[in-house]
Amino acid sequence: MELIRIRGVDKQYKNGVTALCNLDLSIKKGDFVFVIGASGSGKSTLIKLLHREEKPNKGKIIIGGIDVAKLRNSKVYKLRRKLGVVFQDYKLLPKLTVYENVAFALEIFGLSSNEVRTKTIKALELVGLKNKAKQYPDQLSGGEQQRVAIARAIVNGPKLLLCDEPTGNLDPRTSMGIMKVLDVINKMGTTVIMATHDKQIVDKMKKRVVLLDEGKLVKDFEKGTYDNEID
């Protein structure tokens, strides 16, 4: 079943840069999709459009029946309850513990303290950090901090997880550990879309690969590698 439908999407920034041009893309529920391409190809812009950090100049973006492009600013929270986002730079709150960083994502929705605790512990177990719950971000490695960020993104059971270069600051071994976590989350039913330029990860995972070039979709392989997309 289709989760995301993108039709005829253009995105041009105020400085005149065209980030996406007439983009058409469909993504099914449960897919794991790598979005690859050179710097400036439109990868991050696509992620921003999907969680409504940016709006397209033209075209439709439908996620789970919601027309994201037409969504009023006051209703954006309804979309963001259904998805999680993981960034390259973690965006953890330094004065909160690991547990508090993850729980915070639930508390803003007004859940009961029992529900917050149950879901937070479950998310930390899933990313292998239950034993680090009382530590602070600066006591963790980069890979552990990214795992906390993933736990925070999935703690509310989103249907969609967006990842923008989540392994960009990590060494290859740590990166593969992060990918194993994302693969488990995907196999539990969450659709994952990941913008990346990490050739090793794309080649090893053998998931669907979408190549952008100067804002245009130029290739789409069901089980691709970095090289068969770029060639």
> Domain residue spans in the chain?
92-157
Work out the number of other CB atoms within 10 angstroms of the CB of residue 217: 20
Bigger pLDDT: 1 or 160?
Answer: 160
- 191-221 confidence digits (pLDDT tens): 999 999 999 999 999 999 999 999 999 999 9
Is 49 a residue whose pLDDT tops 60? Answer: yes
CA distance 148 to 88: 12
pLDDT for 230: 53
Which two tokens mark 27? Answer: 């993504």
Residue at token pair 């004065």 = 95
pLDDT digits (tens, 9 = 90+) for 108-148: 888 899 999 999 999 999 999 999 999 999 999 999 999 99
Interacting residues of 82 by C-beta distance below 8 A, sequence separation 6+: 63, 64, 158, 159, 160
Q: How far apart are CA 201 and CA 165, in angstroms?
A: 11
CA distances from 149 to 8, 12, 33 (A): 32, 30, 20
Burial 66-95 (b: 16+ CB within 10 A, else e): eebbebeeeeeeebeebbbbbbbebebeee
Token pair 């719950």 in the structure block, residue: 133
Q: Give mean pLDDT, residues 94-105.
A: 96
